[in-house]
Every structure is written in C-alpha cells, then in structure tokens.
Chains A and B, each alone.
Chain A
Amino acid sequence: MAHCHNTGLKMDIPAGARKIVLAGNPNAGKSVFFNHFTGLYVDVSNYPGTTLEISHGRFGSDVIIDTPGVYGISSFNDEERIARDIILSADTVINIVNAVHLERDLFLTQQIIDTGVPVVVALNMVDEAQKQGIEIDVDLLSDLLGVPVIPTVAVRKQGLDRVKKALAAARPGNIDAGLQQKLTRLVDRVGSQAEALLVLEGDPVVAGRHGLEPGGEREEIYLSRRERVNDITGHVVKETSRGANISSILGRWMIKPATGIPMLALALWAMYQVIGVFIAGAVVGVTEETIMIGKYEPAVRGFVGQFIAENSTPGTILIGEFGVLTMTVTYVLGLLMPLVVGFYFFLSLFEDSGYLPRIATLVDRLLTGIGLNGRAVIPMILGFGCVTMASITTRLLSSERERRITIFLLGLAIPCSAQLGVIAGLLAGVGPQYAVLYALVILTVLVIVGTVLNTLLPGKSAELLIDLPPLRLPRMDNVLRKTATKSYMFLKEATPLFALGALIISIFQVTGILTMLQNLLAPVTVGWLNLPPETATAFIMGIVRRDFGAAGLTDMALTPMATVISLITITLFVPCIASILVIFKERGRKEAALMWAGTWVIAFTIGGLVAQLSGIFGNGNAARGIPLIIAAFVTLALAVLLTCRFAKKPKNSGAGC
C-alpha cells in the first residue's frame, strides 16, 4: 500500500487503485450507497479486537470502503477509531449527509474537510426534508463548503449516478483561515494535514504515532467548527412549517414509562413468540433433531468410525457424546445458529427503526442502579439468546467498568435461551408459586450483585448520552443484511471456542476429571442444598452446555421445592464452557478466574439459602414457606440497596446514585 499507515484491515487493494471512503453519521444511508456502487463483489472484514465489520468492494478500477456511522472522528469509541483510520487513509471521501439533520451532520463534514482530503457531499433524504418543510439551497451549501454537493434520495436510487460522476470533481473544501495556519505549521512534522488536525484536536492515538504530546486545542477547534457549521446551516436552510407527525408522537410514547413499558412488553412478547416459540421449537426441532442428530451425526460417526474406534480416546474426543465433530457441530449449526439469527434479526429491526436508543432511554433508570446505563440493555437482551454472544457484545459499552459488571451479571444471572426452554418446562410442572419464587430469587440476586459491584468497583460508569434518531419504518434489506453479517461474524468467532470447549470437556471425560468433580460436589448438594447426590451430575453437565444441566434434572424424581432449588443453583452456576472462554478472552486470566470462582460461591450460597429457609419456614409443607422465602430475599435486597446507597454517598459527594 502506498500509505505510511494502514487501516488495520486486511484488504486486497490493487496497485494504482484509489481508495474511496464512504463516511457519515449513523443512519445517514451509507449502506445503500455502498451497495449501489459496488454491486455483488463485496468483502466483509472484521476489525481486529471489535465486533465491527467493515465492507469494501470494487468500483471500476478503484476500491470503495464503508465506515461505521459516527458523529465525528477521534478516539471516543471503537467506531470512531476505525472510521478515523479509514478516513485518514482515503484518497477521496464521499460524505453522506442527512438533509433533515444538516446542523448535526455537517460537523463531521467540516471535520473531514479540515483533514484536507478531496470530498463529495451527498445530501441524502432530501425528499424527507421537503416533507418536513425544510428547504436547502444546494448551490450555496456547495459554495460555502467548497466541495460538490449532490442532492440524493438513496433508497429510490435518485442522484446516485450524479454522485458517481461528481467523484471526478471531488476537491478539498474551505477551511477556517486560523485553523489552516496552525495545520500548515504542524504538517512538516507529521507529514499530512489530516494527521496534523487530529494531533491538534488532542487525539492520543494519532499523536502517539508521531511521538508527539496530544494537543490541547480540541475544544477551541470544535467550538469554532460548530459555530461555522451553525452559520452555514443558518444561511442555506429555510424552514417553512413544523408540525408533529405520527413518528414523533410514537417516539415520545416509547420513552414515557406509562406508554413505553407496555410497548416494550409487547415488543418482547413478539420476540418471545418468534424466537422462543417458533424458532426454539419448530425450527430447532428440524435443524437439531432431524437434520443434525438424525442425519449428520450418524453419518460422521459412520465415516470416522471406519478409521478410529468410537470408544477409543481419540474416538471419544472426535465423535463421542461431547465430540468436536458431533456435539460442537450440532450445537453450533443446529441449535445456536437459528437462535442467533433470530436475536440479531430483532436487534437489527429495533436498531434500524430507531427503537433501540428509545428502549435504552426508557430503561436507563433501572440500569444506573447496578452501575450500567441504558446502552447495556443490548447485551442484557441478547443474553437471553446466548450468553456467549452477549458477552462479546459488551465491547460496545463505553467503559471497562461497565464491561466488567455486565459480563459478570450475564454469566451469573441471565439464563440463555437453550437453558430457558428446559427451565420453563420444569417450572410448568411444579406450579406457578414455585415459578414466581424462581424468578424473584434470580432477579434479587441480579440486583444485589449489580448494586454491590457498583459500590465496590472503583471509578464511575459513563452516563447515558445518546442521539434519538427519528423513527422510521425499518428497511428490510438493511435489516436482513445486518442480521446476516452479525450472525456470520458471531459464528466465525464463537465456533472455535465451542470446539475448544468440547475438547476440554471430552478430555475431562476421558481422564475421569468429570466424575471426580461430580463426586466432589455431591456432599455439598446433599448436606447444604438438601438435594439427592445425582443432582451434582446435572450441575457439572451445565458446564458442558447450560441446557444439559437443566435437562439432566428432568429425569430425576424431585419434589417441587427441590426442583426450584436445583434450577436456581444451576442458573446462577458457571455459564457454559464457551461463555467461560469468552470471559477469559475478554477480561483476562486473573479477572475471569475470579468471576468463575464467584459464580460457584454465589450459586451454592443462594441455592443453600433457599433450601435452608425452606426448611425453617416450610415446616414440612414446602409451599407454605414460599411467601416467607420471597419476603426474606426482598428484605435482603432492600437492605443491600440501602447500605450501598449509604456507603456510596459520602465518598462521591452524591454523584453515585
């Protein structure tokens, strides 16, 4: 590559090809441009260390690279860092601007212009702007920015060909004279105006690359850029009318608790019907039972069995009960893939329609108590699908502290869909009062542990500060593409982990460690949890796959109370081995080991507490003790909440709660 810095991505860029980069705010419509320009030949690559996928494709003899949607380029989060590096390496930038949000979007436009790169601006969604009574003087905008501006309606393919033609006319735009002077002074030392700009704006990464101290002028530059942009907007925009439309009224309802909570409940119910009932039942029935266990596993056993005996050690590891070629493949393709696709479909739907940031706003209050903000609702919802998938998604949270709390709570108290199915089945058999007990105990544990972590962990979590984009009907092609790339990226990253997990478990099985662990655990299950010794087997099997653990209980003749105690313990107990591996990968060895040990301690403490309380309150009749056990847990939760509130206040001068 001709550039001194690369984008951090593995891309085949032919010699002599220009790098044309698409940049814009979130929801500006970049992907429609990308698809129109590149056609079929698109490569998606994962940016190292993130779940972000970057698409690039050929455009004639040149290369088009997409970037994540950002409001500006710096080092505030992964999206920005990636967008920054790709834009810094660009030969030309096509900046897609949302005509409805000109004032906000032009900040990024002006920042890109300040880097000195040739730019073409695509003024997108002009039809929507017109509908809302916004008139934009395109020629004047082009004059003021100093770059070509092409009005477009990308979803209807209007103006796209004009943008293509305008690429030849792309040119560096107008820069504030004072800023230009400062940049020119620095260019000699860092080589390019773009890098000079980021150094001046105090970007620590870019400054570090040149061995310079980051500059302290970000705020000054930002403010004058904001002023310049407001001035431009003031000159080119004429607003004729302004009335509330249906989407803005609906958007309001979504964040008010009185209307927002029922709407969220409805959305989650729809999600449950599609994923929990249809996919987990009908679809997985076909993919897991009929195809994988019915057809694939016997075939692979027969094939491998020709060379290796199934009951030999390598046979057990490859095609045994937990074999890498049998269980892993069945689990990943038969069970996990349909569920992951279902969850990512809903997530993409909520994201594309603009509902997701409104959910975050609605639930923000609940999550601040446990040291998180509204954005953490995304991994929390995904956790009910697959804890491994959700743990990877914690990368989108803004601080280490939040990632730490979320990953631990996911591993501890969120049952994944595979497990939920079995748990729901078992609870249905014991009566509603036991189901309530189960749900409330798990919920109080989540609240207590979250609150305690929030109090004990040093530092402060980031507060919510998010953009609420206008609501719109989701575009199905967008949603489906997002679902496909996200599911593919997850399976690509997680499959080796599931295989490694299966390998570890098979080795444990062959060497007898699995049996040893079960025997080790048996005294605790009998003496402290008041459960039969065989339940220890179910707990250990929960490490293999979470649903194995719960399913193991189905065959045992347990009293209703014993069923609930084992379900509570198994839910809180260590997550499946693939999740554990993700926790190790994300959090490092020391912290992950601590979390892993923590789940053991908490699971058996809480399970035992319920068992002992049931013995004391129940007095021979287990059902009679339930309200008292619930009361005890709620009291405990309240006591912890009050203590933590009290403990936190003096230190943080009231900022904590």
Chain B
Amino acid sequence: MTLDRVKKGQHIKILSIPDEMIRAQAIRFGIAEGAIVLCEEVVPAGPIVLRKNKQEIAIGRGLANRISVALN
C-alpha cells in the first residue's frame, strides 16, 4: 500500500521512494527504504508526519501516495 493510506499510530516499513533526489534526502533524515517508522500524525487531506526515534518529518500527500510501505 502507499503511505497516504496509513493511519495514525501505525508502525510501517518504507518499501520504496520514487524520486532519486527525495530518496537521497530521506536517507539523510534516516528514513531510508527499509526503515521502520511510526506514523505520528495525519493531517486530513494533507501531509503525513513520520517519526523515527526523535526525528520527525512531514511528507506532502502528493509524495506520500507515491511511497510504498507495508504495515509492520
């Protein structure tokens, strides 16, 4: 499934990130493909907030629906 379908509080594993630049940026944030993260918040129709340890990032919905994830 894709990241925009994830619900608040679910733990997920990032399977693939589409764009090369975004993948590089995500690796820097520590949220690379294969990482297990927590869905901290879902802004209705808006960005998804992910958390790994103390690191939080917000991902726009248009990007989230191209990132594939699996429930963990």
Contact = CB atoms under 8 A, between A and B. Distances in A.
Interface in A350-388: 357, 360-362, 364-365, 368, 373-374
B59 A463 contact: yes
A100 interface: yes
Given A256-B43, A362-B46, A465-B63, A101 B27 contact: no
A639 interface: no
A229 B53 CA distance: 14
Contacts of B26: 465
A18 interface: no
Given A255-B41, A463-B63, A468-B49, A219 B58 contact: no
Interface string A634-657: 000000000000000000000100
A100 B46 contact: no
A53 interface: no
Contact of A361 (B24, B27, B29, B49): B49
A104 B43 contact: no
B25 A71 contact: yes
Interface string B15-38: 000001111111111101000000
A465 B57 contact: yes
A470 interface: yes
Nearest to B19: A463
B11 interface: no
A223 B28 CA distance: 9
Q: Interface residues of A toward B: which range?
A: 35 or more
B21 to A, nearest CB: 7
Q: Interface residues of B toward A: which range?
A: 20 to 34
Given A364-B47, A364-B60, A655 B24 contact: no
A308 to B, nearest CB: 58
Interface in A102-160: 103-104, 107-108, 132, 134
B22 A101 contact: no
Contact of B20 (A219, A467, A468): A219
B58 A255 contact: yes
B62 interface: yes
A365 B43 contact: yes
Contacts of A74: 24
Interface in A71-95: 71-72, 74, 76
Interface string A417-448: 00000000000000000000000000000000
Contact of B56 (A360, A368, A467): A467
A185 interface: no
Contacts of A108: 28
Nearest to B46: A365
B17 to A, nearest CB: 10
Contacts of B28: 71-72, 104, 107-108, 222, 226
A464 interface: yes
A470 B53 CA distance: 12
Contacts of B27: 107, 219, 222-223, 225-226
A71 B27 CA distance: 10
Nearest to A469: B56
Contacts of A655: 62, 66
Contacts of A132: 54
B14 to A, nearest CB: 12
In this complex, which of B20, B22, B26, B55 has the most chain A Cβ atoms within 10 angstroms of its Cβ? B55
Given A107-B30, A361-B58, A467-B56, A218 B24 contact: yes
Nearest to B53: A103
9 contacts: A72-B28, A107-B28, A225-B27, A251-B56, A361-B49, A361-B58, A365-B43, A467-B56, A468-B56
Given A134-B54, A364-B61, 6 more contacts: A101-B55, A219-B23, A219-B24, A251-B56, A364-B43, A365-B46
Interface of A: 71-72, 74, 76, 100-101, 103-104, 107-108, 132, 134, 218-219, 222-223, 225-226, 229-230, 251-252, 255-257, 357, 360-362, 364-365, 368, 373-374, 463-468, 470, 655
